[in-house]
Amino acid sequence: MEFPTQIFKAYDIRGKVNTELIADLCERVGAATARWLPSQGIVAVGHDMRPDSRQLADALIAGLRSQGRDVWDIGEVTSDMIYFAIGAYDLAGGAVVTASHNAGDYNGIKIYRDKVTPVGLDSGLDAIRDSARDDTFTSLESEGRLEKKNITDEWVAHALESVEPSTWPAFNIAIDAGNGMAGAILPSVLDKLPIVAKQMYFELDGTFPNHEANPQNPDNLKDLIAVVRESSLDFGIAFDGDGDRAGFVDDLGRPVLGTDLISIVAKMILEKNPGTKVVHDVRTSRATTELIREWGGEPVRTKAGRVYIGALVREVGAKFGGETTGHLFFASNYDADSGLIAALYVMQAIAESGKKLSELVDEYRRYEMPPEINFETTKKDTVIADLKQHYADKEQDELDGLTVEADEFWFNLRGSNTEPLIRLNIEATTPSVLEAELSVIREIVARHA
């Protein structure tokens, strides 16, 4: 089989099961990772609930041990539990077998080094890829030790340190786990919170029989929205497949944008840490950055992608950072993201505000901003070149894709690092301005469909 270079993405490894990502390749990735990791010591390995994840994790573990690495097998976990294990126990690194929110015919591997530092193509994954491809490993006389560990209780205790549930009202909510890994961990949390939670799709099923476990896509929130509206609940929470992102639906049944969640959490963070920096990606609403400044903070802009947000949170000493996809990063969580901790923080912020979630969203959302729009095209560079020419009289930058700024609107168009798509985020002062600019962009994209 030809080595599948294409599955080594900007942030992690993602490939088709049984064809691109197979056990032999995972074993080679494990061996390569064992050699590459800069620190000596234990490596934690976990996996999600996909049908082949256990097999692939076993192969990854075999590769790590073949090069002398001691391994903690922490079993079926959310991705943020791997991040916690590395940070809390000062491990040399960790890896989790998961394809996050991708459909069931995909799987993948997220790799972290010491200090909970994500490993992407420009921070070591390229070297791991090349080493796995060359496959020049020699097994050592003595392989690394293997220890099975259960860290659920420690993880739950750590997550709950961030909040004060005793100050919450008795929230009545719904939670959609999307048949993903959050469904395995949430029961250990919910009985410690003063809330009533209707549990939706908590059964682990890596084929995702009900809907894709991606809360950023409004189509995947339809069931949750229906329950929130029909039962007049306070809000709903939806987790992605590997549990490191949480999305919200407000009491009116409206999806809450990722930029709204950044605003909501930033206010609480800044009240407790005046003047701190808040890291955000290029797709964040102007309202969010305006509010951060008004609350005494300093917004720091970077590329989209969890590997960039988390690294910059640490680099600039920020207490908090957010990506508009729902990845929220906390200094108190070893500068890493967590769906569970994000959900707890948002609930704490709602409680402290004394307002409904819909009221917070309406207060913080100052402009017209639809959810991210995806376009299929194989001519990303041509589309961007045409848009640059059309908007030549506007302020532009290419920190990540193309960002165009004008007084009445702005937009960012960037290629997906995990799918054959270009993604549009746009915001305008009025609905009419938004529709006008959307029409222009759609027409230019359509030329190159």
Q: Model confidence over 285-294: pLDDT tens digits?
A: 999 999 999 9
Domain ends where: 324, 343, 364?
A: 364
Same domain, 347 and 407: no
Strand locations in 99-162 (E): 106-113, 117-118, 146-148
Residue 414's pLDDT band (cuts 50, 70, 90) = very high
CATH number of domain containing 223 = 3.40.120.10
Q: Answer whether residue 391 is part of any domain.
A: yes
Give the containing element (helix H, strand E) for 65.
helix 53-66
Q: What is the pLDDT of residue 77?
A: 98
Q: Counting every residue, how long is the chain?
A: 449
Residue 365: pLDDT band (50, 70, 90) is very high
Q: Mark whether 195 and 285 lie in a shared domain.
A: no
Structural domain range at position 348: 258-364
Tell me the average pLDDT across 201-206.
98
Q: Report if residue 166 sits inside a domain.
A: no
- H-type alpha helices, 317-419: 339-353, 357-364, 380-390
Three-class secondary structure of residue 362 per DSSP = helix
Average pLDDT of the segment spanning 210-217: 94
pLDDT in tens, 249-259: 999 999 999 99
Q: Is 350 part of any domain?
A: yes
Angle 431-446/380-390 helices, nearest 10 degrees? 130
135 plus 60 within the same structural domain: yes
Phi, psi (5° rounding) for residue 272? Answer: -95, -20
Best CA proximity match to 66, nearest among 24, 105, 103: 24
Q: What is the pLDDT of residue 307?
A: 86
**Is residue 176 assigned to a domain?**
yes
Based on the fold, state whether residues 348 and 420 are members of the same structural domain.
no
Higher-confidence position of 120 and 420: 120
- What is the rounded average pLDDT of the residues 367-387? 91
Q: Which residue out of 100, 263, 285, 338 is catalytically annotated?
A: 100
How crowded is residue 298: how many other Cβ atoms within 10 Å of its Cβ? 15
Residue 114 token pair: 């010491």
pLDDT-derived band of residue 421, with 50, 70 and 90 as boundaries?
confident
What the block records as the tokens of 133 is 């491809």
Q: Is 100 a catalytic residue?
A: yes
Q: Is residue 233 part of a domain?
A: yes
Is 330 in the same domain as 241? no
Whole-angstrom distance, CA of residue 160 vs CA of residue 169: 16
H or E, element range at 293? helix 286-294
Task: Verify that 318 and 392 share a domain, yes or no.
Answer: no
Query: Of 226, 254, 282, at which residue does a domain stop?
Result: 254
Q: For 446, list phi and psi in degrees, rounded to 5.
A: -60, -30
Q: Are residues 392 and 344 in the same domain?
A: no
378 and 336 housed in the same domain: no
Lowest mean pLDDT among 5-9, 38-42, 302-306, 433-437: 302-306
Q: What is the mean pLDDT of the chain?
A: 96
Judgement on whether residues 14 and 139 belong to the same structural domain of the protein? yes
Can you tell me the mean pLDDT for 208-214?
96
Q: Which stretches within 90-238 are classed as H helix?
A: 126-134, 152-160, 182-185, 187-190, 222-230
Query: Residue 156: inside a domain, yes or no?
Result: no
In a domain, 162, yes or no: no
Q: What is the pLDDT of residues 110-145, one digit of tens each?
A: 999 999 999 999 999 999 999 999 999 987 889 999
Q: Which token pair is 215?
A: 């809360």
Same domain, 126 and 12: yes
Q: pTM for the complete prediction?
A: 0.95
> Which residues pair with residue 44 across a beta bridge?
72, 94
Domain shared by 351 and 425, yes or no? no
Domain total of the chain: 4
Whether residue 431 is contained in a domain is answered as: yes
Q: Which of 364, 398, 425 is the last residue of a domain?
A: 364
| CA-angle at 282, arms to 5 and 241, nearest 5° | 55
**Residue 356 DSSP one-character state:** -
pLDDT number for residue 448: 80
